[in-house]
Amino acid sequence: MASFRDKFWFTLLLTIPTLIWSGMIQHWFDYTAPQFPGSAYIPAVFGTIVYFYGGWPFLRGGYHELRNRLPGMMTLISLAITVAFLYSALVTLGVVEGLDLWWELATLVAIMLLGHWIEMRSINQAQGALKELAKLLPDMAVRLDEAGTAKEVPVAELKRGDLLLIRPGASIPADGVVKEGTSAVNEAMITGESKPMDKSTGDRVIAGTVNGQGSLRVEVTGTGDETALAGIMRLVEQAQTSRSRAQALADRAAFYLTIIAIVSAAVTAIVWPLLGRPWSFTIERVVTVLVIACPHALGLAIPLVTAISTTIGARNGLLVRDRRGLEEARLLNTVVFDKTGTLTLGSHRVVKTTAADGLTNDEVLRVAASVQRDAEHPIAQALMTSAKEHGIDVPMSQDFESMPGRGVRAVVEERSLHVGGPGLLRMLAVEPPETLRRAAESAAADGQSATYLVEGDRVLAVFAIADAIRPESFDAVKRLHDEGLEVVLLTGDSTAVANAVAKELNIDTVFAEVLPEDKVAKIEELQAQGKRVAMVGDGVNDAPALLTSDVGIAIGTGTDVAVEAGDVVLVRSDPRDVPAIIELSKATYRKMIQNLWWAAGYNIVAIPLAAGVLAAWGILLQPALGAVLMSLSTVVVAINAQLLRRAVRSP
C-alpha cells in the first residue's frame, strides 16, 4: 500500500509539468506556458518517465497475466498506456502526423495508481480488526514461582502449568483456568459479548481478554498458537483467502470483460480510419475503451465484501471457516438444533421450584442446597448451581449422610433435613400435599426429575430438575420463525424431554431418541424433502451431521472435532447467533451482487461512449475521464462494501 501511495504522489508531481506544457491544455485554458529551449519536449520527457516509473506495476502485472494466459485488469491498463506511449512517441519524433497523448497518458497512470491505492486501503481497513486481534496479547506477563514470588517475564517464555498473576485492568496473556480469586473479565474482543463475564475458581479465561477490578491467579493451559485467539485468527484468515462461487463468477466476468474490451478496441481501431478519422482520434478512442473497461472494480467487488463480512463476523463471535458456508446460509429454510449444550445449558438446573404453603422458593432452595453441599451427585450440583445463580448464600451443613438410592440427610441450622427422590418419601413414609404432588407429576410428564425437601414428616418443597433451556434460545427460535425458517430439534434424549423442550421453545419438528449414528440419516431425510438444512451442534456425535448438512454450525465451546467439522463456529455458544449468520449471509450476498453491477454494469453504456458512437453529436470521453469513471466505480464498490458493517444485529 505504501508503494502505491508513494508512486501516486511522485507521479502526480511528474504529471503537473506534463499538463502545464501540453499544447491541448494551453489551448483549452487559453494561456501560454513559459518558453525556453527544449520546453516543447517537456510533456514527452515527463510523460515517458511517468510511463516507465508510474506504469511499471501495470506493465509487470500485464506481462504476468499474459504469460499465465489469464488476461485481465493489468493487461488492459498496460495495453492502454503502451498504445498511448508508442503513438505519442511517434508523433513527437515526427514519424507520424497527429496530436500526441502525453497529458492523457500521465493523468491516466496517476489516476490508476490512485485507484489502486484506494483499493488497497479499503482491503487493509477491512482486515484491520483481524490485525487488531494480534495486538490484544500483552508483551509481558507476571509469573509466580513455587514460593509465590512474582516475576515479570516475556509472554513467549510462558508454558503450560505456569501460574500467572493477573492484576486489575491487565490483559490476560494466555489461555488458562482460574485457581484463585474472583473478577469480571471483558471478553468482547474475542466473543463479541459486551457484558463482562464473572470469573472465579475453576472458570476458564481467554488470552487477549481484559481483567476487571479483581485479582486472579491463573494456571496456563495454552500459549502461542494453542490459544483461542490464535485459532480465531487462523479461521478468519482461512475464510478470507478461501474462494466462493461468487468469486468464481466475478473472475469469469472479469475475463469476459477483458475479451470484450480488447475486441471493442480492435473494432474501434479498424472502423474510425475507414470513416476518415485521423489516427490521433482513433488511438484516443482505443485507449479510452481499454481504460474504461478495466475490470479493476470487478476484481475488488467480491474480495472486499468477503474481507469485511468475515471480519464483522469475527468481531461478533461468528467465525466463518469456509466462505461456502456463509454463502449457502442465505438459502437455508430449515435449521436443526442438537439439544444438549446447544439449546440447553448442558448441565442440570432447578427449572421449577414449588414450595409448601408459607414458604418461599428462595428459602427452600437455600436449605436444600445446604443439605446437598457435600454431595457429588448431579442433583446436588444442580441445587448448588441454581442457588449460586439466584445469588443465594448457602449455609454450611453438619452430620451429612448419604443414603444410596434414596437421597441424603444433613443438619442445617439445627434442623434435620432430607433431600431425595420418590424413594426417600417411601422410606420416610410421608406424603406430599396436593400442590406438591401435582408439581411432581407435571415434572415427570416433562421428563424432569422431581426432588423433594423433607423435614420430619412434612414435605417442604419439590424441585423439578432438568437440563435448563438457555434463556437466549427463545429469541433464537423466534427470530428464525420470523425469517420463515423451520426449526427442528434432534436429540438422543427421551421423547418426553424432547417434546417438553420443543413445546416451551415453540419448535416445529422433533426427532427424539436418535442414536448418534442415525443423526446423519435424519439430516439426509430432510434434504431428500428438498430442504436446505443447517445443523447446529457441539458434540463429537454431531460432527458427521455437521458435515452432511448444507451448512454446519458448530458451538465454539464444544469439542474440537465439532468445531473442525463446522462451516461456521459460534464462539459464545449463543443460539441467537444462528439467525445472525443467516442475516449476515443475506446481506453479504446483496452486497456482492450490488458490487458486481457497480463494477461491470456501467460498461454497457461506457464502452460504446468510449468507442465514440456519439461522436457525431460531439459527445466524447477523453482517456483521463475514462480513467476517472473507472476509478469512480472502484470507489463506489469500496464504499458500498463498507456499508455491510451495519448488517449484523447483535443479540
Catalytic option among 322, 338, 538, 542:
338
CA distance 102 to 84: 8
Residue 76: name the closest of 256, 329, 303 by CA: 256
Please give the grid coordinates belonging to residue 163.
Answer: 501460574
Residue 262: name the closest of 137, 76, 77, 406 by CA: 76
Pick left, alpha or beta for residue 200 (phi over 0 → left; psi -120 to 50 → alpha; otherwise beta): beta
Q: How many CA atoms lie within 13 A of 525 on its CB side?
A: 10
Calculate the CA 194 to chain-centre distance.
Answer: 17
The cell 515527463 sits on which residue? 46
Residue 322 among the catalytic residues: no
CB 634 within 8 A of CB 297: yes
Amino acid at the residue 307? A
CA distance 162 to 169: 20
CA distance 58 to 67: 14
Pick left, alpha or beta for residue 346 (phi over 0 → left; psi -120 to 50 → alpha; otherwise beta): left
CA-angle at 142, arms to 141 and 143, nearest 5°? 110
End-to-end Cα, the chain, rounded Å:
36
CB 137 within 8 A of CB 207: yes
CA distance 370 to 400: 10
CA distance 286 to 288: 5
Active site residues: 338
